[in-house]
Structure 1
């Protein structure tokens, strides 16, 4: 009888042990991530919102709470419309031309060749991503040098017979920052798309070729449908990344000439740290946070990301 009673106690204690194990796993695996998210994402957002309702300046002193910063945003900052328009152009042009289209072309080309050649080409393309930002921009400074010694002018003058050197920094600054950021930004999409293409079963390509499908038909009917989720992820991630990135723009053009290449994130930086208007910079940052949340939710809804993250139909024990 005692043995039967022990078995009954074990069966009753079983669900409790499982619950305790789940809680322990939750704390061990997700606990550090939750703590870091609160410390480095949630708390800074709260501090930013609080500072935006103050008059904090270069002295870092707060003498009172006010809505003056938001009044300036909605009625007193005449450069803001130009900055927002440039930011939207910069984000969507860089995303569409380079981070998606060009990255996809790179992935298709490098996977169509033999594996060694493709790996070598992808490795070369990743070199700017692995190099210091200053070194990458120094190369661009040499390329766009307005004198006859700049790489671009050397090519144009020797190959095309151009007589007068061009100055892309002053003549086409917006195109310059799009190309400079796009070339280095395409590497991420290239790696993700390449991994997705490599994961497509080989027999699908063999069957398509046996049926007489050409290269474009294979890309359209086999490759692109398999890249739906990677394209969705890259679109959302790169949109949010471009909204808040200004490192290469600051190093290459410093936001100039004048404010011609000053995107929204760089405008916040210049307002806060160049002029010492920390409260106004915090108020501007509130809107970029809200914009990031809006684009994230829009992308989540448009690409139906919930379907990607649903629980598997087959449970592996």
Structure 2
């Protein structure tokens, strides 16, 4: 099917083309790298760190810091991406190169030499805010009696976090992991706005962006709605598989067991 909505029955040919596509191994590895790195370093890792730090300092200071971190989330996507492009442009006066200049280092063409760094930073800093809100709410829902009991028993701040708080927010961590993984698998907006999948051939191209490129961006006047749709089906399958793995690892079945109350 094309823009004129003329149908041409091809059976399973679009799915067979997936096996023959020479670029899919690279795009698949790009997707795994992008999802794993952004998820662990930012969407879950840094989000959890920010939540823990801001809930253990002065309450007003912590709330103000979290509010500032929400600014990228409420900034229009195009403006947010343009700010990153401005900060990483190749001339010596850009923000990143100005910082390098403080240490006597030469300017760098960030988009050409380190495109993945830009992609992960752009997506990561905006992705932190979601997990930060969920984790902060979960931490604040822990009863004060539990916290004070641990402190009375002599628990240090690290021991309080390691043995009390983290086990009690296990399920919010599972939710953020699953949700953000699915979100990253299907996200391509900021990659499109910053690197466009380049530089070069598919350097930062991920699965979702490849689907968009095939179905809606014309290369030589040719669009491939059917092939893009077939690739999108596999994207859904990948998300389901990862979700099932998370549920097994976090033993989700235990959450669904009704608590037993013993009455003497």
Normalised to the residue count of structure 1, the TM-score between the two structures is 0.77
Is the 1:129–1:187 Cα contact (8 Å) retained in structure 2?
A: yes
Within the candidate set 203, 214, 219, 1:271 is matched to: 214
Residue 274 of structure 1 and its aligned partner are, at CA, apart by 1.2
Is the 1:133–1:248 Cα contact (8 Å) retained in structure 2?
A: yes
Q: Distance in 1 between matches of 2:193 and 2:246?
A: 30
Distance 1:130 1:311, change over 3 A: farther
Aligned to 2:96: 152
Within the candidate set 289, 294, 304, 2:236 is matched to: 289
Aligned to 2:250: 303
Alignment RMSD, CA only?
Answer: 1.5
More helix by proportion, 1 or 2? 1
Within the candidate set 152, 161, 180, 1:210 is matched to: 152
Q: Distance in 2 between matches of 1:278 and 1:234?
A: 32
Within the candidate set 214, 237, 241, 2:183 is matched to: 241
Q: Distance in 2 between matches of 1:109 and 1:261?
A: 33
Residue 121 of structure 1 aligns to a residue whose secondary structure is: helix
Residue 313 of structure 1 and its aligned partner are, at CA, apart by 6.0
Is the 1:57–1:277 Cα contact (8 Å) retained in structure 2?
A: yes
Residue 222 of structure 1 aligns to a residue whose secondary structure is: helix
Aligned residues: 256
Aligned to 2:35: 91
| Greater alpha carbon shift after TM alignment, 196-205 vs 90-99 | 196-205
Alignment of 1:97-108 (within 5 A): 97-108=41-52
1:137 matches 2:81: yes
Unaligned runs of 5+ in 2: none
Unaligned runs of 5+ in 1: 1-55
Residue 242 of structure 1 aligns to a residue whose secondary structure is: helix
1:72 matches 2:14: no
Aligned to 1:179: 121
Residue 175 of structure 1 and its aligned partner are, at CA, apart by 2.2
Q: Distance in 1 between matches of 2:241 and 2:255?
A: 20
Q: Distance in 1 between matches of 2:16 and 2:237?
A: 18
Within the candidate set 191, 204, 220, 1:261 is matched to: 204
Residue 312 of structure 1 and its aligned partner are, at CA, apart by 6.2
Aligned to 2:25: 81
Residue 176 of structure 1 and its aligned partner are, at CA, apart by 1.7
Aligned to 2:138: 196
Residue 92 of structure 2 aligns to a residue whose secondary structure is: coil
Within the candidate set 104, 108, 119, 2:63 is matched to: 119
Is the 1:58–1:277 Cα contact (8 Å) retained in structure 2?
A: no
Is the 1:143–1:150 Cα contact (8 Å) retained in structure 2?
A: yes
